[in-house]
Structure 1
Amino acid sequence: MQISGKEQPVRILLAQPRGFCAGVVRAISIVERALEIYGAPVYVRHEIVHNRFVVDGLKRKGAVFVDELDEIADPSRPVIFSAHGVPKSVPQAADARGMMWIDATCPLVSKVHSEAIRHHEAGRHVLLIGHAGHPEVIGTMGQLPEGAITLIETLEDARTVQPPDPENLAYITQTTLSVFDTQAIVEELKRRFPAIREPVKDDICYATTNRQQVVREMAPQCDVVLVVGAPNSSNSRRLVEVAKSSGCEKAFLVQSAEDVSWQDIRPGMTVGLTAGASAPEVLVEGVIEAFRTRFDTIVELLALKEEHVSFKLPRALRKAAGEKGAAS
């Protein structure tokens, strides 16, 4: 029921940029285009991106999600690797089984893979700043032989790590980390190991950085901050952390409007609203609509910068699409 009268409206500060990044758009497009070209089913190893709404939508179109290649019922069908990247052993296993595979790894994650390989070939031990168990970290560590990469999760790890050769050392990072937390770790590594090689360009991706910056700007103005995203989405969880560390202790991760704790919202409040890089805009719109059914609501855009990044689909998929178009 719409509440009106003398009550003050809820003011929503809507972050810009928010939501889908170029890597996520590319990954989803790869699955959709593969379904158009090859028909259903198309298999996808792991969630293509960390969002249940997106995954369920692709399932309805004919995508079948599996944890491992040996779960694929028909190995003659295409299999797509997720945007987070995979260890080298996965495409090797697919080749051994004669599978046709398509790599949807975000190009910015592929850049980190290339860095790891380059440093290893140059004889350097690699320190990877990231979170244990995250698919991106598993994929990156799987680019090199076991023992060639040491995972650094915390500032304490940076203070205590004992690499095999401190004079031949490089660091790389997961792309979805907190910019500011990572900087503290990097500074400690540089202090301890002055000769350490660093990325030519930051590994933390533009989308992660931009979304964190606008939340850092937004949080001090807000009574509550809502981040639309999945619980297993690293970049979404980091946005909650950034909001809390920037002055808004009441920051929450919500998958959709159904997850909003309405008891925390009162007329007259300012509510910050953003979305992780794998959360579709329709979920943000659903949250705004839910506010409008409960409160007088004013929506103001807090725009930090515009994004114009895009990535091409894999060459093999573009070629297959062209061949299909020519035949039809």
Structure 2
Amino acid sequence: MSEKSSPYSPNFTEKTRQDFVLSLKRIANGPVQQRVRETWSGEVLPAVSRARGRAPQHWREVAAPLAQTLPYRQWAVFTHHSQTMMWQAVEDTTRRVVPEAERRYRDARGGRTRGSLELDPDQTAPGPISDTEIHRQPQGYAGQAHGEDLAPGLRYHGATLIYSVGKGRTHAATDGRGQLLIDEIAKRRPGFKPRRILDLGCGIGLHAQPIALAFPEAEYHAIDVAPGLLRYAHLLAEDRGLAIHFHQRDAADTRFEAASFDLVISNILFHETSHERLPRILRECRRVLAPGGLAVHADVATQSNRLGLDDQVMNAWQDRWNGEPFWSAFAEYDMREQLLAAGFAAESVFAEHVKSGGGVSYVFGAG
């Protein structure tokens, strides 16, 4: 089956505007952010250390003095406004292409499909997905205007092409860290050929596509609580002829049988959960993982033990101003300890930072 053009296809004018926003993102994440770091090391850190008679130990000690500096305020304004401009630019394309995308979705649902889509109107989205516009995406991930709404998926796709690339993650925009997960699976289990794969919090399934291609014999199930993202993920997979089975289900209660998957994966899921849900999801991973199976998760590398206090302050900014209420809290977690608490065997557990696709990811799991 030949691949079709992407449902999210900006025209020349839209692409020009989006490229301009991408340039702003690169400036915000590059020289503007670097100026904050220089101000921190050259001015704020020495001043705070003198005032306290010791070096500060936690980002909360230095958040206020750093936030009062001009470079920090410039960075915050630059970052916030470039995010606003990103969503405005993406929305132009979304509104133009959504009728055609929804027509293609209906055609895919009405014809022969390789995979499947199971939506559950009784499935509620947990917080923060239900009550936060994550990354300030209009209407959030779980919002929908009607029963065939693909706009949430289109917005997500368009933002990925700007947000991830603007942070230097070119590959994340095209394969959603799928190759990173494939590489980690091969490193942990050379020659591994899973029979059944469970993908938690799959979003629009960008990372699922290369994984499905890497394991063509596997039965691939992907779940998320956001119906608009799942519809779009299903359309993308069918356009590529990939047999992926999408389900509207909760990663903390998947409703699959125990010990029924050889491989359990996720990508940038856990930092969008909560203190209550993170351990529940890990326990569910252990429940559905078959004996001898492998669990591999990739997430943001914001852990406090690898970042300076200045970067931790800038990360904490995300909590309030970029729709990421669990961002800085997730940074305090040692996922190795969490995996052990979920019941995984100590000799099977891993958690490390891995360079990939122009950035660094926090990779953890067991097997």
TM-score normalised by the chain length of structure 2: 0.32
Instruction: Using CA pairs under 8 Å that are at least 6 residues apart, name the structure with larger relative contact order, 1 or 2.
Output: 1
TM-score normalised by the chain length of structure 1: 0.34
> Which protein is richer in helix relative to its size?
2
